[in-house]
Each structure stands twice: as structure tokens, then as C-alpha cells.
Homo-oligomer: A and B are copies of this chain.
Amino acid sequence: MFSKILIANRGEIAVRVIRACREMGIGAVAVYSEADRASLHVRLADEAYLIGPPPSAQSYLNVDRIIETAKTAGVEAIHPGYGFLSENPDFAMRCEQERLVFIGPSSQAIRAMGGKTAGRSLAAKAGVPVVPGATRELSDQEVLQAVKEIGLPVVIKATAGGGGKGMRIVSTEADLAGAIRAARSEASSSFGNPAVYVERYLGGARHIEMQILADGGGRVVYLGERECSLQRRHQKVVEESPSPFVDADLRARMGEAAVKLAKAAGYTSAGTMEFLVDSGKNFYFLELNARLQVEHPVTEMVTGLDLVKEQIRIAAGEPISVRQDDIRLRGHAIECRIYAEDPFNNFMPSPGRIHTLRSPSGPGIRVDSGIYEGCEVSIYYDPIISKLIAWGRDRDEAIRRMRRALGEYVILGVKTSIPFHLRILEDPQVLAGQIHTRFLEEWLAKGLVGAKEGLAEIALVAGSLYLHTKKPLVQGSGGQGGPAESLWKLAARHEAVRRR
């Protein structure tokens, strides 16, 4: 087993990997940009090294600097988290060359499957159904041509994409050029690669993905599915496991297809096969995510496995710790991604200082967070600041726990998606599990429900008392019956409270 690992990432996922390292007795080495000196992952790591200025291209994507740091710190392996360099075959290859273990699939496997187009073409060869569209990257001109063939609506996707970045749905020809430009630009800044392709957009389908683990000894297992249909702008918003739509038969068919594909690609480590599933329970392979997923905790909570530890063990040459027959899904888990964005203002990103933070806890609740009270949410990076995960014996209990925990979660100073999540999880269709990939967009088009009724009075009362108590005592400006005296009483009461 490794004695020290470098984590080439930041935020909640770096914290997640640090925790796994600590539990395994492995030293955790963080890297940070100048914007992240005071970040939680730096504080919690055993060691931390500066790797460059705030923009990702100069820090978290700076391969030379990261490799150099790994050597200085004397680590044996690098965990890339998700995003950044996690699916970059050149980085994986560079690690291989430098005799650093890349905690993920081999560079060959990433090339074979990690790029979205390569994965599609391999799947088609292996006999797994794929969504109609291109199987290689396209020029702008070729995209226009392909769209003519497959028909609108289509989705433009970055071949190196992930997390909804570099992805645009296009329903009218007029929007095509702009969408290609935006997708390339986002892809370029997020993944250092502007390549895009196009595929048919299957509206009304579900996005369901299958988690697999594959080790160097040839064992491949599937860990059940995740339902990820609740998306906005192709960003997953809420994920759950199991899917309310998947029965044992469909799970086995999808799981076996995923295992077949992983074997065909010589894939190792944790990976996810994304599928679109239509109402007839037909599934179409979308892409392989050749890394840990943001939403891996829901699988962890229903299987009891720790996917990061499995990744590390596999990278160290150890076998997966379970056999297919021993994998049991228990209960139901659901995740809400807490974004720093304003759901009431077109989901505008909301960087800033978190001046107040109260986190939920108690039965069935897990918080994977990269924030703390007083921290800065930077403009430079992804707006995921925390993930809230709830487990219950069944879907109903999981959702009730999630709502309870969302109600306890107070993040002030930046806007967050918490009110959005609370409203999603009260929708009757969501509660019934009747969702698809366009569900949230359609639901949002109806407008977000505003503030609950009846709280304005409380706010008005609280505000006036707040102003009243903070007023300098000398300034007794009229009012009914000796305000100065009553203010003194109040001050005395506060003192008493404080002394208690």
C-alpha cells in the first residue's frame, strides 16, 4: 500500500480523498493555487504545496508543476478527484512515465473509453446500444452537416467533457453556431480541449448510470445504478440510488452491459457508464466517466463500500474487496449538490464570503463539504461547494431526511441552491419518481415558487427588535415609555444570558 498520496484537486472532493487517506493510514498531500491557501483541503491535509496562480490552467491543470510537487513531496501515487486532470490521458501517461501511480484507469483505457466519442465507438463495437450521432470529434462544419443527418434537437458535447460543462442542447438551427462556440469555449477553459461532437438529443428519457469497479486482476463488478435525471443545463442537481424506475432485471442487464464494456476497454479503477433509458426500459450508452463521480456517495451509502478506498486499493495492485454476489443494495440514498448560485436569479453564480454556516447532521445524513464559516467561495472554480446526502430505509424516508437536513442547512453570504432543492423535493411528480432529463427545465419554466407565506411578519418583527437593541443607549429618541430604561434591562438580560 502507498505511504503517501498527492491529491491533484481542491474543494469537497479533495477533502473527501483526504478523509479516505487518513482512514487508511496514508499521508495526504494537498496542492493549492494562490486563491486556495485558506481552503479546507489545505487545512486538513498532512502536507500542502502551492502550485500556481488562481486560474486552473496555471495551477490545477499545470501538469509539470503537479508532477514536480509529487516528486518533492515523495508521494507514490496521485489521486485526480473529478474534473481537472482526472480524465486527461496525457496526464495519466505522464504519471506512468514518471513512475507515479495514477489512481484511475491506465492512459490507454482513458484514451479507449474516456473520450466521449471513443467510448461511443467502442460501445457500438461491443454490441451495447448507443444514442445516434457522431463517434468522433467534429469541426464546426461537420457538426452542421451531422445535424442535418440526425435532425434536431441535438446536443453538442465536448469530447473531454463532464459535469455538464461544454455541453449545449440545440433545438433551432439559429442557435447552433452560438452553441458550438460556447461549448468549445467552456470545454477549452475547463478541460484544456475544445473538441466537440454531436448526438441526437433524447428528450423525455432518463439519465441512469451504472457504477463499476475493475481491478488489475480482471475482476469487474457493478454496484447498482444512480438515477440522475434531475438536471439543469446538463448539470446534475439531485441524484439517487437506486433509481425508482429500475427493477432487478433492468439493473442486471445494464450492469452486465457495463461490465462487458469495461472488460472490452481494459478498464481498471472506479468508473461509471452513463445511459439514457426510455420509458420502454431500453437503454442507450452515452459515455464512460473514467473517474470518480461527484455523486459517488449515494452508491457508497446503499452498498456500504468506500469507492475512494477501492480506487486506492486497486491502484496499489490489490483486488476489489467484494465479489458481485456479495453486493447488496440497502435502502435508498439521495444527494443534493449544493451550488453557490442564485436559484431566484437565473442561477447566477454567487461567489463571496460565507459569513454564516450551520451544517445538518443526525441520523442518515452525510455532508461532503469544502466550505467553512468565514471561507471565500472563489470566482475561479466550480460552484459546487458542498454535497448533502441522505440515506433512508426507503425512498420516502431518504427524501424526508433530505428535506429535514436541507432545512437545517444554513449558508449565508453566498446564494445557494438549497431553496431550489427544497422546492424540487416537494413536487408530487418528483416524489412519485416520475422524472426525465428535461423535467427540471420544464418545471423551472413554470417559475420558482417564492417565499413561504407568513414569515414576513416574523422578519419585520425581528428586524425592528434588532435595530432597537443595537441602538446606542444615549440616543433615547421618544417612543412609548422610557426606551432608555428598557434598553438597559435588555442589555442586562443579554449579559445574564452570556454569563450563564
Contact = CB atoms under 8 A, between A and B. Distances in A.
Contact of A362 (B305, B368, B404): B368
B358 A372 contact: yes
Contacts of A25: 400
Contact of A404 (B23, B363, B500): B23
Contacts of A23: 397, 400-401, 403-404
Interface stretch (A14-22, A89-97, A104-112, A140-148): A14-22
A352 to B, nearest CB: 10
A46 B37 CA distance: 41
A38 B38 CA distance: 31
Nearest to A35: B500
A175 interface: no
A331 B359 contact: no
Contacts of A434: none
A393 interface: yes
Select the residue from A497, A498, A500 with max chain B CB neighbours within 10 A.
Answer: A500
B365 A366 contact: yes
A24 interface: yes
B378 A368 contact: no
A58 to B, nearest CB: 16
Contacts of A400: 23-25
A300 interface: yes
A27 to B, nearest CB: 13
Interface string A382-403: 0000000000010001001101
B397 A500 contact: no
A211 interface: no
A153 B497 CA distance: 46
A485 interface: no
Interface string A159-170: 000000000000
Given A35-B500, A397-B23, A368 B361 contact: yes
Interface residues of A, number: 47
Select the residue from A305, A393, A407 with max chain B CB neighbours within 10 A.
Answer: A393
Contact of A361 (B24, B366, B407, B498): B366
A304 interface: yes
Contacts of A353: 498
Contacts of A359: 359, 361
A367 B361 contact: yes
Contacts of A393: 304-306, 321
Given A44-B408, A331-B304, A38 B297 contact: no
Contacts of A403: 23
A497 B32 CA distance: 14
A342 interface: no
A19 B300 CA distance: 23
A233 interface: no
Nearest to A297: B363
A362 B309 CA distance: 14
A260 interface: no
A181 interface: no
Contacts of A321: 393
Interface string A360-382: 01111111110011001010000
Contacts of A331: 304
A65 interface: no
Contact of A304 (B306, B330, B362, B407): B330
Interface string A170-181: 000000000000
A389 to B, nearest CB: 9
A305 to B, nearest CB: 7
B15 A362 contact: yes
Interface in A486-500: 497-498, 500
Nearest to A305: B393
Contacts of A401: 23
Pairs A-B, 9 closest by C-beta atoms: A361-B367, A23-B400, A22-B404, A19-B362, A23-B404, A376-B500, A304-B393, A23-B401, A304-B331
9 contacts: A16-B362, A38-B497, A300-B363, A304-B330, A304-B331, A306-B364, A361-B368, A362-B366, A363-B368
Interface of A: 15-16, 19-20, 22-25, 35, 37-38, 44, 297, 300, 304-306, 321, 330-331, 353, 358-359, 361-369, 372-373, 376, 378, 393, 397, 400-401, 403-404, 407-408, 497-498, 500
